A and B are shown apart, each in its own frame.
Chain A
C-alpha cells in the first residue's frame, strides 16, 4: 500500500540478494512515518474535541492535491508548495470546524450526529476534489529517486526524507505539548475538558489551533503518502483512513505518543507481513490488529480515562 519500490533489483552493493525481512522493516519505517504524521493529526484533534473526524481521509487527499496543483500545476518549487499547501489545509480545517461542526458542537448534539456530519463532509470533499481535478490518477513530476542502500535497508531518497520529516514533526509535537502553553492547554483539554475550561483555558482558541494543526499534519501526511505510492487518486486518502484508525486505536485514542507507537507497530507489521502474504492484503493485517485491540484492550496501549 505504501512503500512500493517499483522496479529495483533487490541486491546489495556486492551483488548478493537482500534479505526480505529487514528490507520490509525498512519499508515498514516509511509506512510508519506516514502513519505517524497522519495519526498525530487525528489523535490530537480527537483529544481536544472528543469526536472522530471521518473527513480526515479527505483532508489528506486535499492536501496532496493542493501540493500537486501548486507545484506541478503552477510550477512552484516543491518544498515551497508543500509548506503553502500545509498552511492552507490548516486554515481549511479551521474553517471546516467553524462552519460545519461548530453549529452542532455548540448546541451539544449527540455524538453520533457529529460523526455523521463528518462523514457527510468527507463525501462532499471527496467529490469536490474529483470535480475539480478529475478522477484519473495523478503523479508528481519529480525527478526519479535513486535507491540507497543503508545496511540491510533499500530505500529511495524520498522515502528517507519522509522518515526524516516524520521524526522532525514528532519531536516538534513533543516540544509543543511539553514546552508551550498551547500544548499544555491541549493536553489539559484532552485529559479533562471540564476542568480545563474552569481553569481559564480559552477552549475556542485551543480548539481552533488544534484543528489547524490537524489540517497541517494531514496535508504533510497526504503528500508523504502520495509521494511514496507514486500515483494518487481522489479516493486514496479514504482508503488509508482505516489504517490510520488502527494506529490511533492501538496507541490509545487521544494519546499522541500512543499514536506514534501505534503507527510504528502497524507500519512495520503491514510491511513485514508482505513477505508472506500477497501485497494487496496488507490492509487486512492492519484490520486484524484493529480487531485484536478492540477485543482485548479497547482503550489501546496508552489509555485515557473516560475516553474509551
Chain B
C-alpha cells in the first residue's frame, strides 16, 4: 500500500519532531531546571545511537567487511533503554569531573573537550563502531515481530516515537512540578545559597546531568532506529546548537515551550527548508546559511527575549491558611 508522498514527508517530520522534543527536554532538565551548561549535548545522543545500534544489530555476517561489536540483536525496547543508560553513564562520569566547581565556564569547557575527544576516539578507533564509516543496517525496532513493509513501517514508527515522547512528557512534567524540580531551580539560581540551606548541590546537579543525558541517549536510539545508520557526520556541533536554539527560543524551563520551539525550528525551519527549491545555491551553502541563522537566532533571543516564547511557569499554591477549607482538608488527610 503506497500512500501519497506527502504523507511520508509528514511522517518524517513527525518523527523528527518527537525525537527532538525528547532530546530538548533532556537539555531542559540540565539547563532549564538546574542551570548546567552542556555544550556537547549531541555527543550523548550519538552515544545512545551507537549503543542502541550495537545492541540491536544481528551477528556480523562474514565477508561484509564491517566491524561491529556485539551482534546481540535485542528487541525493542531494550536497545533503546541501553542507549539511555550508556548516555546517562557517560554523563555521570563527565559530571564527576566538572560539576564539583560551581562556575559555568568549567563545565562548558569540559563538555566541549569531552565532545572533541569522544568524536576523535570513535572516529579513529575502528575496532569500535566502524570508525568514520559508522554503523549501518540497523534493523527497525519491533519490525521483526510484525513485519511491515518499509513504507507502512514509517507510519508505524511515528506511533512508536510518539508513545515514547508522551512518556517522556509525563515524567518530565512530574519532575518539574515536584519539590525536586524546585530544588533544582534553587541550585540554578544560587548554588552556594542552596548549599547553605542543606541541599547537596553536587548531587542535585549530577541528577540533572545524568537524567538529561539519558534523555539524549534514548532520543539517539530512536533516531538510529529510524535512519538505520549513524556515523560521525551526523554528529556535528551544529546539531547541539539546534537543540539549544529550540530550548531557548521555545522557553527554558517550560515543557510546552520546548514543543513550540521544536515545531518552529526543527519542523518549520530545519526540515521544512530541506524541501525548498535550492536551485541557485549549493546544498552546502544552504546548510551553512541555516547554521548562521540558528546562531543568530540564539543570540537575538537571548538579547531580546531570554526567557523564550513561553517562559517558565510561575508556580502557584492553593490558598491554605489556618481556618480555611483547604487547611481543614489538608489537616484531615
Contacts and interface: CB of A to CB of B under 8 A. Distances in A.
Contact of A116 (B106, B110, B114, B302): B302
Given A131-B289, A281-B124, A123 B108 contact: no
Interface in B71-103: 97-98, 100-101, 103
A120 B299 CA distance: 6
B161 to A, nearest CB: 27
A308 interface: yes
Given A120-B298, A120-B299, A112 B37 contact: yes
A116 B306 CA distance: 11
B303 interface: yes
Nearest to A286: B113
Interface stretch (A180-188, A202-210, A211-219, A290-298): A290-298
Given A123-B241, A127-B295, A135-B284, A112 B35 contact: yes
Interface in B203-259: 237-238, 241, 244, 248
Given A116-B248, A131-B289, A121 B108 contact: no
Contacts of A120: 241, 244, 295-296, 298-299, 302
A78 interface: no
Contact of B303 (A104, A130, A245): A104
Contact of A283 (B106, B120, B237, B302): B120
Interface in A120-179: 120-124, 126-128, 130-131, 135
B302 A242 contact: no
Contact of B106 (A121, A280, A294): A294
Nearest to B245: A120
B284 A127 contact: no
A206 to B, nearest CB: 21
Contacts of A246: 113
A284 interface: yes
Nearest to A52: B105
Q: Helix, strand, loop or mixed for chain B's interface? A: helix
B39 to A, nearest CB: 6
Most buried by B among A116, A246, A253: A116
A124 B108 contact: no
A308 B116 contact: no
Given A123-B241, A298-B106, A242 B112 contact: yes
Nearest to B289: A131
A303 interface: no
Contacts of A111: 103-105
Contacts of A130: 284, 288
**Residues of A contacting B: mostly:** helix
Contacts of B294: 123
A104 B104 contact: no
A54 interface: yes
A73 interface: no
Nearest to A51: B105
B110 A294 contact: yes
Contacts of A51: 105
B302 A131 contact: no
Given A112-B104, A127-B291, A280-B120, A103 B298 contact: no
Contacts of A271: none
A86 interface: no
A287 interface: yes
Interface residues of B, number: 42
A307 B51 CA distance: 39
B303 A281 contact: no
Contacts of A295: 97
A88 interface: no
A54 B112 contact: yes
A83 B267 CA distance: 46
Interface in B19-44: 31, 35, 37, 39
Interface in B38-69: 39
B302 A123 contact: no
A278 interface: yes
Contacts of B31: 112
A113 to B, nearest CB: 6
A295 B37 CA distance: 19
Contact of B98 (A113, A127, A294): A294
Contacts of A280: 120, 124
A119 B291 CA distance: 13
A241 interface: yes
Nearest to B35: A112
B285 interface: yes
Nearest to A129: B288
Given A116-B244, A242-B117, A294-B110, 16 more contacts: A54-B112, A104-B302, A111-B103, A117-B298, A120-B241, A123-B291, A124-B291, A124-B299, A127-B292, A131-B288, A131-B289, A238-B237, A284-B120, A284-B121, A287-B117, A290-B113
8 contacts: A113-B306, A124-B291, A124-B299, A130-B284, A131-B292, A281-B121, A283-B116, A294-B100
Interface of A: 51-52, 54, 100, 103-104, 109, 111-113, 115-117, 119-124, 126-128, 130-131, 135, 238-239, 241-242, 245-246, 249, 253, 278, 280-281, 283-284, 287, 290-291, 294-295, 298, 308
Interface of B: 31, 35, 37, 39, 97-98, 100-101, 103-106, 108-110, 112-114, 116-117, 120-121, 124, 237-238, 241, 244, 248, 284-285, 288-289, 291-292, 294-296, 298-299, 302-303, 306
Q: Which 6 A-B pairs have the closest CB atoms?
A: A123-B295, A124-B295, A242-B113, A120-B298, A127-B291, A112-B104
